[in-house]
């Protein structure tokens, strides 16, 4: 009888890779914690400011509405005006408060040149803040 060695297979090599699953789990927990605590850390600084009668809140911004209909007629605060009356009224408004905003509403059919004339009158009067007012597009049914 011959006793021989049984051949053994080699052992599996030790795993040298990092197991990423626990690392990802820990990172996700940290991200959730940071997302929840970030708004709490960004709170404003609490101050007890001194009081004085000179520190009154500023007036709300003033504006005038300037409408140009499809015929080219200008309306200042819903009153029809000529080009000369428009210039005079805007000059008076600018003398009272040069930061007054002009809210310009022009019909789609108004020629570009007429809109430029109205804007020019406002700028010559000293009113440089011009806001263009537009409507939302209508939703189309599907």
SS3 for 93?
helix
- Does pTM top 0.75 for this prediction? no
What's residue 14's pLDDT?
78
Residues 6 or more apart whose CB falls under 8 angstroms from that of 63 comprise: 100, 101, 102, 103, 131
What integer pLDDT is reported at residue 92 of this predicted model?
92
pLDDT at 31: 95
What's the pLDDT at 57? 55
Domain assignments of the chain as residue spans, ordered by start: 63-132
pLDDT averages per 10-residue partition of the chain, 142 residues: 66 79 93 86 58 58 84 88 92 89 87 90 90 76 64
Model pLDDT, residue 82: 92
> At the topology level of CATH, where does 63-132 sit?
Nucleotidyltransferase; domain 5 (3.30.420)
C-alpha 19/C-alpha 22 separation (Å) is 7
- Contacts of residue 115, defined as CB under 8 A and 6 or more positions apart, other chains included, come to 68, 104, 106
Tokens of 95: 């003398």
| pLDDT at res. 1 | 56
């Amino acid at each position: 009888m011959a006793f021989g060695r049984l051949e053994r297979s080699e052992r599996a090599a030790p795993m040298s890779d990092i197991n990423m699953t626990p690392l990802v789990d820990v990172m996700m927990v940290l991200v959730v914690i940071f997302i929840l605590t970030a708004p709490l850390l960004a709170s404003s600084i609490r101050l007890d400011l001194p009081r004085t009668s000179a520190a009154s809140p500023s007036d709300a911004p003033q504006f005038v509405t300037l409408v140009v209909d499809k015929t080219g007629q200008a309306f200042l605060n819903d009153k029809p005006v000529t080009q000369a009356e428009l210039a005079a009224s805007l000059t008076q408004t600018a003398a009272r408060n040069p930061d007054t905003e002009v809210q310009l509403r022009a019909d789609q059919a108004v020629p570009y040149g007429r809109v430029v004339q109205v804007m020019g009158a406002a700028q010559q009067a000293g009113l440089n803040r011009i806001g263009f007012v537009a409507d939302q597009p209508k939703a189309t049914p599907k």
